[in-house]
Structure 1
């Protein structure tokens, strides 16, 4: 799923903006930020069904926040992002080329079967990450104070992603060395 720079920036800064806005700005007005996030994803709509469902889900959350003037629908956006990424990565496991392999092929490389199997396993690991990340984001949205939710969804989850990227990179180096790839 390709994201524009604006969509990526909004997604990264969204939890912090919700936390700063909480208690200062009514949730129905904060919903405008989520609307901008959804609209910034419009170029991705022509790419795949996951992008369309993600935007539709964000628009439902916007409508719920405006209608209820509650913060909860806005706090569910990171859950939606994890669910959309899970759907994209999991769906790719039903196709001949996994999401990780598809991204790796953007560099124009061709891979032997052993590398393709490895990339399929990495895609499965990312699916597990998105399940756990989405569950924690959901739990903090429902039961944790806004500061805890914001800390997890705006800092900790990204640190965990970076940690997973780094760990996978080290494993990949070892894999390449062992398999002469």
Structure 2
């Protein structure tokens, strides 16, 4: 995940430079698009690699994960990768239409609400599944 942070920072710096050079503030509207693209790449690469990123994060807490948890974290990583595509496409649309109010509403509010809802729903599902599989 640190790699994604470095790429996001590098892209933010490049966008700032381009914004200053070309004197086009609306170029900054593309930052959420880039962040979502980077996160999509990181999550997808982890799925294709040795271990999905969410499996790695889960193993920081528990060294040994049961088979159901490994399968669950793989599917969850795929879910987040799909989310980043959809979120990125919506962010791209808001950047293209070049409407600060729409861009701010989605990228500064709605997308964060969606992420919060997903985190909350996933936490509830994880607790339910853990109870279900721990009782077997």
- Compute the TM-score of the two structures, normalised by the length of structure 2: 0.88
The aligned runs of 1:7-156 (5 Å cut-off) are: 48=3, 50-156=4-110
Report how many residues are paired: 135
How far apart in 1 are the matches of 2:122 and 2:8? Answer: 27
Q: CA RMSD in A?
A: 1.8
How far apart in 2 are the matches of 1:144 and 1:162? Answer: 26
- Greater fraction helix: 2
Unaligned runs of 5+ in 1: 3-47
- SS of the aligned residue for 2:93 comes to helix
Match of 2:120 in 1: 166
- SS of the aligned residue for 2:48 comes to coil
Following TM superposition, by how much is the alpha carbon of 1:103 offset from its aligned partner in structure 2, in angstroms? 1.3
How far apart in 2 are the matches of 1:111 and 1:104? Answer: 8
- SS of the aligned residue for 1:109 comes to coil
Unaligned runs of 5+ in 2: none
How far apart in 2 are the matches of 1:159 and 1:53? Answer: 24
How far apart in 2 are the matches of 1:118 and 1:54? Answer: 28
Following TM superposition, by how much is the alpha carbon of 1:59 offset from its aligned partner in structure 2, in angstroms? 2.9
- SS of the aligned residue for 2:65 comes to coil
